[in-house]
Amino acid sequence: MRDFIPVSQPSVTALETTYVLDALQSGWISSLGQYITTFEEQFAEYCGTKYALTTSSGTTALHLALESYGIKAGDEVIVPDLTFIATANAVAYTGAKPVLVDIEEDTLCIDPVAIEKAITPNTKAIIAVHLYGHPANMPEINRIATQHGLIVIEDAAEAHGASIHGRRTGALGHCGVFSFYGNKVITCGEGGMLTTDDEDLYCRARYLRDHAMSSTKRYWHDEIGFNYRMTNLQAALGLAQLHRIDDFLSQKQAIFEQYHYYLADIPNVKLNFTASWASNVFWLVCLEIEGLTEQERDQWMVELKQRGIDTRPYFCPLSAMPMYHDASVDTPIAHKVAQRGINLPSYFDLSDSDIAYVSNTVRTGLGYAAKPDIQLDAIALPCRCNSQHSPCTH
């Protein structure tokens, strides 16, 4: 019997152990320390922004960004209906209203046309989520935002290293927000980062993150801030992961290429799509089966689990949930794809034979013959050309 294959699993090597042990033994185990500074500097450099600020999570980074921009009750923030709940919750924490709009069926990211329709005099910001590793259409979103004087926050929690025309996420809007939760592209255990070129925003966010303490009078506070700091131990883990990010990303590309080889010929199956202008990091492999009802999808996931394969359903549309339910929200695409999509095992240490096993179990489950194990040299690995076709000819 084959071992259970999870959807995600962090990769921890001697590098992570060395950095974390060094941080621990240095005595700097709280939220001051060299690893924090270095992680922030090198993450900013990686994204191509002037500043990066560590936070305790992706959710707190989002909340901090919104608070730093002064988003408050009475304001509206446009958010895609298909995302992790944190995107909308962070808006709700400020008292503002998350206005849920539909996504594009191919990229699964927020639809610029839907954004434009949702703008009102109360709209202050747009949160563009780079879902499952694919960047949202930032050139178009930025164009709309400029025209209407809106702030653009990238929720890049699932898309470290993804890019548009060579410019990486985190540097594509007014600010970017990342998560380092255990299943993300790189992890700190828990943690987050705010990236920006805007010095005022960076200073304001750093001040609010540290309880809004006066810089001239200790233990004096003019307003209510937060403790949203990361620890030096988390930063040590994050820095080691950042030093391995190229390996993570080329492996994710290779994993996707292999699934593509096995599954792309099945009619009615859609795998991750990559727009011509985008570089996708394939955080999770996405599989949608056209025509599947939610019940059938869930039953199929149970059957895969019985065969030792973990999967996860797509996010649920936020507008379906009680606290965000609103009859005026019209998001048919989010609702359609949410019920038929699953994510397949996508982690760094997944073996070629695991991918073959998962893929062929999917094939036979859908009534198609299994494919012979892939000839690894038939697809150029690790090719990052973002080819929609496999085998890649580069």
Ligand X SMILES: *Cc1c(COP(=O)(O)O)cnc(C)c1O
Report, in Å, the least distance between residue 91 CB and ligand X.
12
Burial of 240 (0-12, 13-18, 19+ CB in 10 A): buried
- Output Rg (C-alpha) for the chain, integer angstroms: 21
Whether 201 and 68 have beta carbons less than 8 Å apart is answered as yes
The one catalytic residue in 50, 117, 124, 184 is 184
Q: Is 226 helix (H, G, I), strand (E, B) or coil?
A: coil
Q: Residue 242 is encoded by which pair of tokens?
A: 């950042």
Using CB under 6 A, which of the segments 22-30, 40-48, 82-90, 250-258 binds ligand X?
A: 82-90
Residue choice 67, 102, 158, 257 for contact with ligand X (CB under 6 A)? 158
Tell me which residue of 200, 197, 196, 179 sits closest to 188, measured CA to CA. 179
355 binds ligand X, rule: CB under 6 A = no
Nearer to ligand X, 86 or 208 (CB): 86
Is 184 tagged catalytic? yes
Which of 8, 87, 258, 343 is close enough to bind ligand X by CB under 6 A?
Answer: 87
Give the β-pairing of 97-101 and 285-289. Answer: unpaired
Give the residue with the Cβ less far from ligand X, 181 or 262.
181
Neighbours of 267 (CB within 10 A): 8
Place of tokens 């839907």: 114
Please give the DSSP secondary-structure letter assigned to residue 101. E
Q: Which is nearer to ligand X, 261 or 347 (CB)?
A: 347
The strand order across the sheet containing 269-271 reads: 269-271, 285-289, 341-344, 312-313
Cα–Cα distance, 358 to 60 (Å, whole number): 35
Residue from 76, 81, 155, 257 touching ligand X (CB under 6 A): that is 155
Place of tokens 């309880």: 211
Task: For ligand X, give the closer residue by CB, 164 or 356.
Answer: 164
Nearest distance, CB of residue 390 and ligand X, angstroms: 27
CB of 187 to ligand X, least distance (A): 9
Q: Least CB distance from residue 345 to ligand X, whole Å?
A: 17
> Is residue 195 close enough to count as binding ligand X by CB under 6 A?
no
Measured from the CB atom, the residue of 86 and 333 that comes closer to ligand X is: 86
Catalytic residues: 184
Residues at the contact surface with ligand X, assessed by CB under 6 A: 57-59, 83-84, 86-87, 129, 155, 157-158, 179, 181, 192
